[in-house]
Amino acid sequence: MAGRRRVSGFSAAGLCLLLVGLVGCGGRSVADPARADVQRVLDRRAAAVLAHDAAAYARTGTGTGTGFGNLSALPLAAWSYRVRDVDRTGDRATADVELRYRVEGYDRGAVATGRTVRLSRDGTGGRWSVDSDRPAEKSGQQPWDQGAVQVLRGTHSLVLGVGQSTGALRRFADLADRAVPAVSDAWDGDWARRVVVVVPRSLEGMAGLLGSPASSYRGIAAVTTGETGGREHAPADRIIVNPDAYGLLGDLGRQVVLTHEATHVATRADTTSATPLWLSEGYADWAGYRDSGRSAAQSAPELAAAVAGGEAPARLPTDEDFGFTADAEALARAYEGGWLACRMIAEQWGEDRLNAFYRSVGAHDERAGAVEDALHDVLGTTPEDFTARWREYLRTRLG
């Protein structure tokens, strides 16, 4: 026929049709429909979670890993999956998925975490169903990966526990409910004035939530997770407790730790990559100890011993000094040194200036010059003068 060139016995149009399973006309690849199918089954799964519909959840597959009962108690405002990639072999597939969820009444934005979802399809080529849903490589676990999540509400807190008694979770809620007003009294910035506390079964559970070896957190009573970098990047903090270390603390220590961690939540929007750890950790300790009535020497025993031994530090702690793998006594001195620097600012310049100094450092575009500029602009001093004042403060308060 006119206008149609024949190629090896087939028309060009016919050849294009024969190859449609491999490439589209014009050389464009045809996507594997499995990705869209997997997205659809995960969309149904997300809808079931939000609706607390166990039967609908089961129709998307149960398998091993996360069970509906483990997460059914969570008060959720949002829950969604985004399929990033699918590796399919016949009727089996492994999907690289981003899960995003938001706890109702507590999270400004969504928590985002990677998941590896394995699926299978019945022999007749029907719907895909989930066989397992687990944390992706290098992603931490979520509480429901460790067992059924129990939820306890406080006045200013939401406590999520796994393998803990109701009484234990109530005690954490009481501590958090005292911590939040204490932080609000110290920090004059805008924050949500509520916290989410996660209490796993053990140190190993804490490490699993953080995606790190347990040895990294041995002796650490609690940590706070969340994104730094400005208000728009601070959507969902979690205070994660190490119940093994926390249980060794006295009443004051437990309250100080929760207040310290709640301070990180409050200051998160003003904590950026420009903020050194001596300031962020020191300020959190300052808020924690602010109304404790404890003297500097009582709350900084390691640094007090160093000063008494003629080994007062010559400089403020560096970020490296705060590494969890550091020597325990050196780590304690780093925290104590940062706390006393913030305590000195509050005493000699006033608490309002301390808050302004914190925000000024965090507002800087980069780490270089951030502290120096804030010292000049807010406190009217220089790094050299500030360090000299701090060293003298250590000698007079700890000597």
Q: How many percent of the chain have pLDDT more than 90? A: 80
pLDDT (0 to 100) of residue 33: 85
What CATH code is carried by the domain that includes residue 256?
Answer: 3.30.2010.30
Q: Who contacts 158 (Cβ-Cβ below 8 Å, separation ≥6)? A: 75, 103, 105, 106, 151, 152, 194, 195, 196, 197
| Sign for the pseudo-dihedral over CA of 161, 165, 166, 168 | negative
| Sign for the pseudo-dihedral over CA of 8, 13, 18, 19 | positive
Same domain, 239 and 254: yes
Q: Is 239 strand, coil or helix?
A: strand
CA dihedral 343, 349, 350, 352 (to 10 degrees): -110
Same domain, 264 and 321: no
Q: How far apart are CA 306 and CA 325, in angstroms?
A: 21
Same domain, 252 and 301: no
Structure tokens at 114: 């990677």
Name the domain boundary from 269, 286, 314: 269
pLDDT (0 to 100) of residue 120: 94
In-domain check, residue 13 = no
In-domain check, residue 151 = yes
Q: How far apart are CA 399 and CA 391, in angstroms?
A: 11
Name the domain boundary from 269, 287, 311: 269
Mean pLDDT within 335-347: 98
Burial class (CB in 10 A: 0-12, 13-18, 19+), 62: middle
If one compares 325 and 331, the residue with the highest pLDDT of the two is: 331
Least confident among 25-29, 50-54, 164-168: 25-29
pLDDT (0 to 100) of residue 235: 59
- Inter-axis angle of helices 166-186 and 277-289, to 10 degrees? 110
Same domain, 318 and 338: yes
Mean pLDDT within 176-186: 98
For 135-149, the pLDDT digits (tens) are: 999 999 999 999 999
In contact, 186 and 287? CB cutoff 8 Å = yes
| Sign for the pseudo-dihedral over CA of 26, 30, 31, 36 | positive
Burial class (CB in 10 A: 0-12, 13-18, 19+), 216: middle
Mean pLDDT within 288-317: 95
Question: Euclidean distance between the first and final Cα of the chain, in Å?
Answer: 103
In-domain check, residue 16 = no
For 195-225, the pLDDT digits (tens) are: 999 999 999 999 999 999 998 888 899 999 8
pLDDT band at 323 (very low <50, low <70, confident <90, very high): confident
Least confident among 7-21, 112-126, 195-209: 7-21
What CATH code is carried by the domain that includes residue 53?
Answer: 3.10.450.50
Same domain, 87 and 174: no
Answer whether residue 37 shows pLDDT above 50.
yes
Name the domain boundary from 233, 249, 269: 269
pLDDT (0 to 100) of residue 67: 79
The region, left, alpha or beta by phi > 0 then psi within -120 to 50, assigned to residue 141 is beta
Structure tokens at 163: 């393998």
Same domain, 230 and 214: yes
In-domain check, residue 188 = yes
Same domain, 357 and 322: yes
Mean pLDDT within 373-378: 98
Q: Bridge partners of 221?
A: none
pLDDT (0 to 100) of residue 1: 44
Place of tokens 């129709």: 59
In-domain check, residue 4 = no
Q: Who contacts 297 (Cβ-Cβ below 8 Å, separation ≥6)? A: 304, 397, 398
Q: How many domains does the chain have?
A: 3
Same domain, 148 and 263: yes
Range of the domain at 391: 272-399
Mean pLDDT within 6-29: 37
Least confident among 39-43, 58-62, 253-257: 58-62
pLDDT band at 19 (very low <50, low <70, confident <90, very high): very low
Same domain, 213 and 303: no
Q: In one letter, which amino acid is 207? A: A
Mean pLDDT for the chain overall = 89
In terms of Cα–Cα distance, which of 183, 318, 189 is closest to 255?
Answer: 183
Helices (H), the chain: 12-18, 33-51, 54-59, 68-71, 166-186, 203-210, 243-246, 251-267, 277-289, 296-299, 301-308, 328-348, 351-362, 370-374, 383-398
Q: How far apart are CA 210 and CA 262, in angstroms?
A: 18
